[in-house]
Amino acid sequence: MATLTIIVPVFNEEEFLGALLDRVLAAPLPKDLERQIIVVDDGSTDGSHEIAAHYAAAHPSIIQVETHLKNRGKGAAIRTALPQAKGEFTIIQDSDLEYDPREYARLLSPMIEGKADAVYGTRFAVGTERRVLYFWHALANHLLTTAVNLFADLNLTDVWTCYKAFRTSLLQSIPLRSDGFGFEPEITIKLSQRQVHIYETPISYHGRTYDEGKKIGKGDAFSALGTVLRFAVQRDVYKESGPEILDTLSSARRFNAWMADTIRPFTGRRILEIGAGIGNLSRCLIPRRELYIASDIDHEHLARLRTRLAHRPNFRAVPCDLVKPEDFTPLRESVDTVVCLNVLEHVEDDALALRNIYSTLSPGGRAIILVPEGMSVYGELDRVLGHCRRYDDAELRRKMQSAGFSLETLFQFNRVTRPGWWWNGRILKRRRFSRIQLGIFDSLVWLWRILDPFFPWKGTSIIAVGRKPAA
């Protein structure tokens, strides 16, 4: 049974909170989905906390209450709730009855179908019910939405909607900095920077007037514009360095194409990619394959892969740990090619990992293994990425042959970046790639592809191609 987490930020809503929670509890959900409700009392000075506590006592397995001693804002309330979120999906539900919980299924549908990572409920779609209210408020909304779209390169109609749904693991992986309503542009810009799939769906809207308790005002609009400008120039989309490096490398499209072109002559029709990450290589290799299986141990990466490549009928994403033989049992002799690039160096027992790779290949199949070369350049970047080792030719050859492979070829790859890797990781001890450096490098890949064989030092990586003997 999957779970939907519903986060309810509350500030002085005693008049509406009880009715809202009744509606959230009664809202129809898609099949096989149960609800977890997290109410965050954001320093209320009325009876909101007591109402929330009453409902939590009446529904202890469904509702929990978190408390701020003073008012900190909507963004802060969401940050407080997120670590407690257990659901596969999360919806943000304001407590003022402007949005209708009966529309949860509409918000969730694109994510359940595997098309979307986040869904925005738009109040401005033609044909939906909405209360007619302030012109200037709507104009400000439109201008601010346009500003976000400009910097995020999106075409959303309603950035400021308070009905947003997300894959929970995605939302939990993004550092959130805004305390107030700045959450809305911040999360939108960061989702765009993560290149996730965002969908919009029409919702009804029953807005309040300021006399009826509406809280957002002119000051919030100016603050929001500042937030837009701040996150437009500041890339802050991962909590951890490892995924951030993968994200940075995803922008090196020419380099990824170079790597794919280098190994493509050795690939077959049925491919298993080990450690696919967010699909930087997958999207280059998947066209014209009979079957492409992308695997990873990170569930957020797998979810991202499924939405990113959902349009490919030949694609599957599966969890697979290189050192767990049971993960490879369902894949036994099912593919003619295993691609394992920049993964083997992450595991202690690389001999077991190679035997597991061997087991998935049909007789005559190939394993294409790329690993970092040379402990002499092992530095801080390797440590951040979790590298247990870097290899030399003899070690990689010996370990592949011990696993049963007949080695077809072994060669150096990407000599051009070796001095930079040594300088950045070993001398400067940097823990991330410079996007400026990477952008300059990627723009010149056409030149590096010509010059790379002529550099007089070893490559940053070694590529080995091993074949499983034919039956």
Residue 415 sits in which domain range? 242-467
Number of H helices, E strands in the chain: 19, 14
Nearest of 253, 301, 252 to residue 273 by alpha carbon: 301
Q: Is 440 exposed, middle or buried (0-12, 13-18, 19+ CB in 10 A)?
A: exposed
The predicted model gives 376-403 an average pLDDT of 93
Which CATH number belongs to the domain containing residue 121 in this structure? 3.90.550.10
Question: Given this model, what pLDDT does residue 428 score?
Answer: 87
Distance CA 159, CA 181 (A): 11
Residue at which a domain ends, from 185, 213, 237: 237
* Beta carbons of 372 and 387 less than 8 angstroms apart: yes
Question: Given this model, what pLDDT does residue 219 score?
Answer: 67
Per residue, what are the HEC states of 338-395? EEEECCHHHCCCHHHHHHHHHHHEEEEEEEEEEEEECHHHCCHHHHHHCCCCCECHHH
Question: Given this model, what pLDDT does residue 143 score?
Answer: 87
Does 155 lie in the same domain as 39?
yes
Dump strand ranges (E) for 213-330: 270-274, 291-296, 315-319
Report the number of distinct structural domains present in the chain: 2
Query: What Cα–Cα distance (Å) separates residue 222 from each residue in 72, 76, 143, 233?
Result: 18, 19, 12, 18
Tokens found for residue 41 = 């009392």
| DSSP code per residue over 183-222 | HHHHHHHHHHHTT--EEEEE--B-PPPTTTT----HHHHH
Does 270 lie in the same domain as 178?
no
How confident is the model over 65-87, as pLDDT tens digits?
999 999 999 999 999 999 999 99
Does 77 lie in the same domain as 33?
yes
pTM of the model: 0.82
Does 414 lie in the same domain as 266?
yes
How confident is the model over 238-285, as pLDDT tens digits?
877 667 776 777 778 899 999 999 999 999 999 999 999 888 899 999
Does 188 lie in the same domain as 273?
no
DSSP 8-class letter at 130: B
Residue at which a domain ends, from 194, 216, 237: 237
Does 405 lie in the same domain as 337?
yes
Does 391 lie in the same domain as 367?
yes
Q: What count of Cα atoms within 13 Å lies in the side-chain half-sphere of residue 237?
A: 22
Does 199 lie in the same domain as 248?
no
Distance CA 321, CA 353 (A): 9
How confident is the model over 142-178, as pLDDT tens digits?
888 899 999 999 999 999 898 999 999 999 999 999 9
**Amino acid symbol at 358:** Y
Sheet harboring 2-10: ordered strands across?
63-68, 33-42, 2-10, 89-92, 164-167, 118-122, 198-202
Residue at which a domain ends, from 211, 237, 263: 237
Per cent of the chain over pLDDT 90 is 71
Report the Cα 350 to chain-centroid distance in Å.
Answer: 27
Query: What Cα–Cα distance (Å) separates residue 9 from each residue in 30, 65, 228, 344?
Result: 23, 10, 22, 44
The predicted model gives 187-196 an average pLDDT of 92
Does 216 lie in the same domain as 82?
yes
Does 179 lie in the same domain as 87?
yes
Phi-psi region of 455 (alpha: psi -120 to 50; beta: other; left: phi over 0): beta
Question: Given this model, what pLDDT does residue 181 score?
Answer: 87
pLDDT at 211 over 60: no
How confident is the model over 417-455, as pLDDT tens digits?
999 899 988 888 887 777 788 889 999 999 999 999 999
pLDDT tier at 129 (50, 70, 90 boundaries)? Answer: low
Question: Given this model, what pLDDT does residue 385 score?
Answer: 85
Which CATH number belongs to the domain containing residue 351 in this structure? 3.40.50.150
Question: Given this model, what pLDDT does residue 138 score?
Answer: 73
Nearest of 143, 192, 187, 195 to residue 165 by alpha carbon: 187
**Amino acid symbol at 295:** S
DSSP 8-class letter at 423: I
Does 116 lie in the same domain as 10?
yes
Does 288 lie in the same domain as 214?
no
